[in-house]
Amino acid sequence: MLRVREKFSNQDVLKLGTGVMLGMVVVELLLGDVPQSTLMSFAIVFYYWRHDVAYSQGDATGKAIGEQASTFTLRVVIVALMIGFFISFRVETIDYSLRALMHYGLALVFGLKGFGLWFFQDLEPSVERHV
């Protein structure tokens, strides 16, 4: 009978999930499919992994890192929406379904938030707020 010698931490499980989702995205791309829901799932798992890592440093530090990541994500989403607004004047029809656009939008938001949590974690953010 096999026994488990070591318990897996939450971070190990999220790393494994991120690797599996990334592998599924690559396989779908190689097969010629457009990875809609897999890409969204990968972004969500990646975000929760980085969120767990950021808050493992303490609640105040995790909150400060999260605020910087949220500000970064909001700025990029606003710029992307403005670019899409100006492109929409030239495009008459869209070949993507609303479901596909929703999946790509969620993947963009969660992916940006995850990368923001990863990037701002090393910058040692100031926990104190200036009033």
What does the pLDDT profile of the chain (131 residues) look like in tens digits? 556 667 777 778 778 887 888 888 888 888 877 777 788 888 888 898 888 888 888 888 889 999 999 999 999 999 999 998 888 888 877 777 888 888 888 999 999 999 999 888 876 545 554 43
25: containing domain? 10-121
Instruction: Say if 112 falls within a structural domain.
Output: yes
Q: What's the structural domain count of the chain?
A: 1
Q: Is the pTM of this model over 0.85?
A: no
Look at the block and give the residue holding tokens 């939008």.
Answer: 105
Whole-number pLDDT of residue 130: 42
Whole-number pLDDT of residue 109: 93
Do the beta carbons of residue 116 and residue 69 sit within 8 Å?
yes
Whole-number pLDDT of residue 123: 64
If you write DSSP's letter for every residue of 33-102 in order, what string do you get?
---SHHHHHHHHHHHHHHHHHHHTT-HHHHHHHHHHHHHHHHHHHHHHHHHHHHHTTT-----S-HHHHH
Q: Is 32 helix (H, G, I), strand (E, B) or coil?
A: coil
Instruction: Say if 131 falls within a structural domain.
Output: no
Whole-number pLDDT of residue 1: 58
Instruction: Say if 5 falls within a structural domain.
Output: no
Whole-number pLDDT of residue 38: 80
Residue closest to 68 by CA, chosen among 129, 124, 117: 117
Whole-number pLDDT of residue 79: 94
Instruction: Say if 2 falls within a structural domain.
Output: no
Instruction: Say if 4 falls within a structural domain.
Output: no
